[in-house]
Amino acid sequence: MIVSMDLELKDVPGQLVRALIPVSESGANIMSVIHHHDQRTPSGAIPVQVVFQLTSGQLDEIIDNLEDNEMRVVSVDKKYRLESVTLILIGHIVHSDMGDTIDQIDSTGFAEVVNVSISMPGIDKPSSASIVISASGKSELIKAVGILKRVAGQKDLLVIEPIQTDSLR
Amino acid sequence: MRTVRLSIMGFGAVGQGVARAILQKKDYLSTMDIEPIVVGISDRGGACVEAGGVDLEAAIERKQKTGSVAASDLTALDVIKDIDHDIMVDATPTNIEDGEPGYTYMLEAFRHGRHVVTSNKGPLALKYSMLCDEADKNGVKFRFEATVGGAMPILNLAQDALAGNSVMSIEGILNGTCNYILSRMTEEGLSYKHVLGEAQELGIAETDPSYDVEGIDTACKLVILANSIFGMDVTYDDVDITGITKITPESLSLAGAEGMVIKLIGEVRDGNDGIIRVAPKLVPKNHPLAVGGTLNVALLRTDMAGPICVKGKGAGSIETASAILSDIIAICKNRC
């Protein structure tokens, strides 16, 4: 999972390091830090944007730690965008509770459905959809596709996966 | 000059193709010191036998006029057992229920000391190891390049040309009928049923297309690849099969928007994550496996040579005969 976090820090020495320690100690990989000196808030705080990759640590714990240290967490944006795959679904996609199909992926905590394009040629005719799943890593993506295939099997939907292309690169 | 006596079992498109190939390639074969003589041909109606060599042109003409090559009371098994010859060419149609009549023909040929060259997938998909054991026991050769990919060399490529390499996986399009249907659906946005009807009218699909479109034919070919190249011991029942009957034109168009096409892909992989599976798959449009029309294609992943891709005509009378002839020549050269 990639997390983009907006913080507001007091303009005193050592604040940035204090803000990054809880993130770093959680095992997260810090990818980018932007220190917006020129965009002070009306109260004089300095906005900081931190982007990190979280593999095992708990995001809630990081936020609690920061807030305990009197740093304001303004917003948190989670993105599962490390690995993604496009698949095709064929069958009665909508009437077999499409929301549930998507929820089963989204509720994993490591993957989510980020795009669905659906084509419904007529009532009683099977629909077709292209569906994009993103996950926090390769093995998580394989797990998520496995979940989709299991759910699709229960709902009599055909899943078309891509061929493996890695070894040709 | 070495005389090689042959029998041809089954005289449909493939059997007649073999006869034509032998006629056409007479001079070419003589440069290799091979003089092929067909001593017997059989089909459902009976057999014709001539120790000095059947007149192949007359046999083809008789088949086309009367519907049978028969010119005697002998049966196929009589020819295999009683007429002295070196190589039995089995060009009987594939039967995935019990592999007959090809299975019995092959066993009897081995037991009578005849090498076997076949284009018939059924017996190999059902009883591969029993056939190989019987051939070994009788000290004769058993070759079947024509069973997979028609004219496209794949078994001989992996076993001869790529000798020394370990093949890790093979995936490809091994059924021209399915490839034609999916390619036409993609190009024209037509429904599966419509294109199937068109393919039947063109003679690309059978009246009962289930053998092709449900992935059975591809599965049989995978079993042959798995057993002969990967040394597995699998049968048709071990293959995970999904056909193309549910593919919609909308799904092809959605795939197209993502830069992909849908193809029926057969896949064999060795090792811990081993699989043997037939399923429609998304293939990037610029990938070597994205071939159109009725073409077949196979991608072999090898440890030393890396990925090797072959494509070619997967079916057809003279194309299949080409693969059979290459096996006959290999036996004559005694290099199999």
Give A27 to chain B, closest Cα distance, Å.
31
Going by CATH, does the domain composed of A83-168 fall within 3.30.70.260? yes
- Best B171, B254, B300, B302 residue to mutate vs chain A (most A CBs within 10 Å): B254
* Domains contained in chain B, number: 2
Checking DSSP bridges between strand B34-43 and strand B2-9, what pairing results, if any?
parallel
Boundaries of domain holding B24:
2-151+317-332
Query: What ipTM goes with this model?
Result: 0.84
Whether B133 and B242 map to the same domain: the answer is no
Q: Are residues B172 and B137 in the same domain?
A: no
One domain, residues B276 and B323: no
Same domain, B115 and B163: no
CA distance A57 to A75: 18
CATH for B235: 3.30.360.10
The pLDDT tens digits along chain A (169 residues) read 788 899 999 888 888 898 999 888 888 888 889 888 888 888 888 999 998 888 766 888 889 988 888 888 999 887 756 788 999 999 999 999 999 999 999 999 889 999 999 999 988 899 999 999 988 788 889 999 999 999 999 999 999 999 986 544 3
If we measure between CA atoms, which residue out of B273, B297, B37 comes closest to residue B152?
Answer: B297
Q: Do B201 and B132 share a structural domain?
A: no
The tens digit of pLDDT for each residue in B150-203 reads: 889 999 999 989 999 999 999 999 999 999 999 999 999 999 999 999 999 988
Range in A109-113, B145-149, B220-224 the model is least confident about: A109-113
- Given the residues B63, B221, B281, B313, select the one marked as catalytic: B221
Domain definitions of chain A by residue range: 2-79, 83-168
Is A102 exposed, middle or buried (CB count within 10 Å of its CB: 0-12, 13-18, 19+)? middle
> Up-side HSE of residue A18: CA atoms within 13 Å toward CB?
17
Strand, coil or helix: B265: strand
Assign residue B41 a region (left: φ > 0; alpha: ψ between -120 and 50; beta: otherwise). Answer: beta
Over residues B242-261, the pLDDT tens digits come to: 999 999 999 999 999 999 99
Residue B19 sits in the same domain as residue B130: yes
Q: Which residue has the tokens 């999904």?
A: B242
Residues 6 or more apart whose CB falls under 8 angstroms from that of B129 comprise B227, B233
**Which tokens go with B297?**
């294609």
Q: How far is the alpha carbon of B280 from chain A, nearest alpha carbon, in Å?
A: 6
Q: For residues B260 and B176, state if they share a domain.
A: yes
Residues in chain A within 8 Å Cβ distance of B279? 160-161
Residue A64 CB partners (closer than 8 Å, separation 6+): none
Distance, in Å, from the CA atom of A56 to the CA atom of B276, rounded to the nearest integer, reads 35
For B260, nearest residue in chain A (alpha carbons): A162
Query: What's the confidence (pLDDT) of residue A167?
Result: 44
CATH architecture of A2-79: 2-Layer Sandwich (3.30)
Domain A2-79 identical in fold to domain A83-168: yes
Amino acid identity for residue A21 in this structure: I
Q: What is the dihedral of CA B11, B14, B19, B24, to 10 degrees?
A: 160
Distance from CA of B267 to the nearest CA of A (A): 10
pLDDT, residue B202, reads 87
Helix (H) or strand (E) holding A6: strand A2-9
Per the annotation, the verdict on B193 as an active-site residue is no
> Before B101, cis peptide (omega within 30)?
yes
